[in-house]
Structure 1
Amino acid sequence: MHEDIGSLVRRFYEQLWNNWDDSAVEHTLASDFSFRGSLGQQTTGRSGWRAYRDHIRRGSSDFHNQIITLVTDGDQAAARLLYSGTHTGPLLDFPPTGRRFSYSGAAFFTAAAGLLTDAWVLGDLHDLRRQLAMNNSQ
């Protein structure tokens, strides 16, 4: 029996993102994992996802994902999220400010054979850009 999608989504955020644990990637993401991140970039495969994650990490070394709500139905899941971090590197073309930010998002997942196969993530980029621009004007 394969792991349920709720456990996979929790691992995706807790281990792959919040703990930056590369050892969990192979038993969480399918080899052809299709990903659209909260900043709008799209990737395919585990290495593509890692490149996106590392891009975010360069902009916020303490980037954190908090699951507010998680709803599952068979091999699909939806999550309401809160993203937060410190602006320590370039992010959305804004130079680093060293200040904290947070923004809301939602993610939609599909799984098969005990692995996540697809994630489509939306982030409130208007709010994030507002915070980064505000931080730069201070």
Structure 2
Amino acid sequence: MNKEILKDFIQRVWNEGDISAISEYLADSYHVMHDPGDPWNGMTLDVAGFQNRVSISRAPVPDQRFEIQSLFENEDSVCMTWLWKGTHLGEIAGIPPTGKTLHMSGATVYFFENNKISGHWQVADRLSIFQQLQANRSQ
């Protein structure tokens, strides 16, 4: 069941940018347990805080898409491996938009409480994004 909830959440919230749907999926508090390079790393967010996080995260790459590679479910967690891509249309880390497509991969463990997502632990290849931004800037 949690796998289906997560698939819907990724599609509606992260791929389509429907921040009004966040309250359907999130627990009252959401803890970013481990996500190096994420400005929200270590924070606990309410629904409004998570909506802000999605809006800010999607702004420089509004067409971003997560392509789920695999899902592994336990009682209270789902591990998702993913590929991500999006067009660099806004400033990222002081680098102006290049219009180029960026690619990244990662794995995220989402935690659930009463069929609501309550947090995540993630590793993402953010170094490759930085390398792509640097290469695109010099072209």
Do both share a fold (TM > 0.5)? yes
Q: What SS does the aligned partner of 1:98 have?
A: coil
Q: Where does residue 95 of structure 1 map in the other structure?
A: 96
Q: Please say which of residues 29-38 and 93-102 is displaced more in the overlay.
A: 29-38
Aligned residue pairs total 135
Does the 8 A contact of 1:65 with 1:83 survive in 2?
A: yes
1:49 aligns with 2:46: no
C-alpha change, 1:75 and 1:12, in structure 2 (3 Å) is same
1:114 maps to a residue whose letter is N
Give 1:103 deviation, angstroms.
0.6
Deviations 1:48-91 (A, max 9, x none): 22212111222111111111111101111111111100000011
**TM-score (normalised: structure 2):** 0.89
Q: Where does residue 14 of structure 2 map in the other structure?
A: 17
Give the Cα separation in 1 of the matches to 2:83 and 2:62.
Answer: 16
1:32 maps to a residue whose letter is S
Give the Cα separation in 2 of the matches to 1:124 and 1:23.
Answer: 28
Give the Cα separation in 1 of the matches to 2:31 and 2:111.
Answer: 10
Q: Where does residue 122 of structure 1 map in the other structure?
A: 123
Identity %: 24
Aligned mate of 1:34, from 31, 36, 61: 31
Does the 8 A contact of 1:39 with 1:122 survive in 2?
A: no
Unaligned ranges ≥5, structure 1: none
2:83 maps to a residue whose letter is L
1:8 aligns with 2:5: yes
Q: Where does residue 112 of structure 2 map in the other structure?
A: 111
